[in-house]
Structure 1
Amino acid sequence: MTNFISIFPLGIVVYPGEQLNLHVFEPRYKQLARECVAENKPFGIPAVIDKKIMEYGTLVTIEKVEKLYDNGEMDLVTRGTSVFRTLEHIGDIPDKLYAGAIVNYPENHAGSNARLLDEVLHGIRELHAILQVHKKFPKEDARLTAYDLAHHAGLSLTEEYELLHLFYELQRLEYLKRHLHKVIPMMAEMERLKERVKLNGHFRNLSAGDL
């Protein structure tokens, strides 16, 4: 399917299924939000990286207007639905302050693998333990997807964007697994280095053994 959508470019990556809370304050996006609420229509959030609007983004729906301010600003609860690819960016729309795009929606294959998902979950929990971060996921383990886990794996914005345009769940999980295999040893070594630095100057019980 190809269609026109209003767009709200942001310096983040939004994934399908993700809840995103937005405070809308710019005049162009206040107009966009008002129209989307009134007409019950979604809008697109393409990722912005290095001040460039990227080709891929995520369509989101407004689930709730949490707060409407006297000056027209809004607190919105939105939910990502599907990944889109921009075919044409439309900067000037008559009577609109915001931009739009002609987009299509690449086919997305959700088939997972329990063993691979377990590996990724184990890696994320190991990373969190190293960093002393405590997080709980909103679903039971077997129902989690790469989209649910990506923001918790320590990816950079560019890496999160790379994962956004992988259209097989197995590819996404494999991407996270490779990332974790690379980053966990680095973080573990940094933690060991921190401990060595902390010990410098302290009295320690040292022994060279029976030499």
Structure 2
Amino acid sequence: MTHSEGHDSAPSPTTLPLFPLHTVALPGVHLPLHIFEPRYRQLTVDLVTEVVPDRSFGVVAITNPSVGEVERTEHVHATGCAVTLREARRLPDGRFDIIGTGHRRFRLLDIDTASAPYLCGTVEWVDDEPLPDGADEAAARLSDICRAAHRRYCTVAWESDGWRSPPGDLGYDALAYRLASDCILPLPDRQELLEERHPLRRLRLTYRLLAREAAFVSELSAVPAPHHDVDEALSRPSLN
């Protein structure tokens, strides 16, 4: 059984279907995928029909672009993110376009290549370190600073109506992921965000990344795909 980010750690390891990718899934962030490989088409069918409990699968980032076939734990980063299937659209040729949402981090302990048509992993859940007493004020200040950096980034990266600020009541533990998801970040940066278990350090890292990316975008005019396009896609009819 899966849990949302921030719950008490599971008492023992659990098993998740694995989807190795050349990207990093983040908690609370939508992940659109185009499914074409036969074994992951089967995984999608198993998710839609809830053969897989909770429609949940694990995304792990491949460590090296030269890896052709993931078979061992050293082929992927040890920390991944469980993703819940939100929408699935079957295409005429049997491929799928899906959208999932990251919901909880895990540490990959082992990979099983034989029990299912797709990879499965033995994982243990990884949650944030608790903040010390009296840290809420610092967290609130950092949240405000990061939101301001996000606005500056989006102002130079997007058209005036092409972005949205995260909800004001979004918790500081999840805020860093949402703000960072609006940037086109190299895989190592996204992986570092995923692995950072201290909410305040994660906010500081997000601020540095937003400031850096704003400078890059100003010079290169590199514009990311608006995150709200995925939100709108979620409102369309699906197989669910």
TM-score by length of 2: 0.68
State the identity as a percent: 27
Q: CA RMSD in A?
A: 2.5
Letter in 2 for 1:105: W
CA contact (8 A) 2:166 2:179 kept: no
Alpha carbons of structure 1 residues 115 and 6: separation in structure 2 relative to 1, 3 Å: same
Query: Which deviates more from structure 2 when the two are superposed, residues 138-147 or residues 178-187?
Result: 178-187
Alpha carbons of structure 1 residues 107 and 140: separation in structure 2 relative to 1, 3 Å: closer
Quote the residue 1:97 is aligned against: 117
Quote the residue 2:189 is aligned against: 159
User: Could you list the per-position Cα deviations for residues 162-211 of structure 1 after superposition, in whole angstroms to 9, with x for gaps in the alignment?
Assistant: 010111221210111233455556766x48xxxxxxxxxxxxxxxxxxxx
**Which residue of the other structure, out of 55, 68, 72, is the alignment partner of 2:94?**
72
Cα distance, 1:86 vs. partner? 0.5
Alpha carbons of structure 1 residues 138 and 63: separation in structure 2 relative to 1, 3 Å: farther
Quote the residue 1:37 is aligned against: 48
Alpha carbons of structure 1 residues 129 and 70: separation in structure 2 relative to 1, 3 Å: closer
Q: Which has the larger radius of gyration?
A: 1
Quote the residue 1:127 is aligned against: 153
Ranges in structure 2 where 5+ consecutive residues have no aligned partner: 1-9, 66-74, 221-240
Quote the residue 1:12 is aligned against: 23
Distance 1:40 1:186 in 2: 41
Alpha carbons of structure 1 residues 137 and 186: separation in structure 2 relative to 1, 3 Å: closer
Quote the residue 2:207 is aligned against: 177
| SS of residue in 2 equivalent to 1:8 | strand
Give 1:128-147 correspondences, 5 Å limit: 128-131=154-157, 133-134=159-160, 135-137=162-164, 139-143=166-170, 145-147=175-177
User: Could you list the per-position Cα deviations for residues 107-126 of structure 1 after superposition, in whole angstroms to 9, with x for gaps in the alignment?
Assistant: 22586612101111211222
Is 1:149 aligned to residue 186 of structure 2? no
**Which residue of the other structure, out of 108, 118, 140, is the alignment partner of 1:86?**
108
Letter in 1 for 2:203: L
Aligned length: 187
Distance 1:40 1:125 in 2: 39
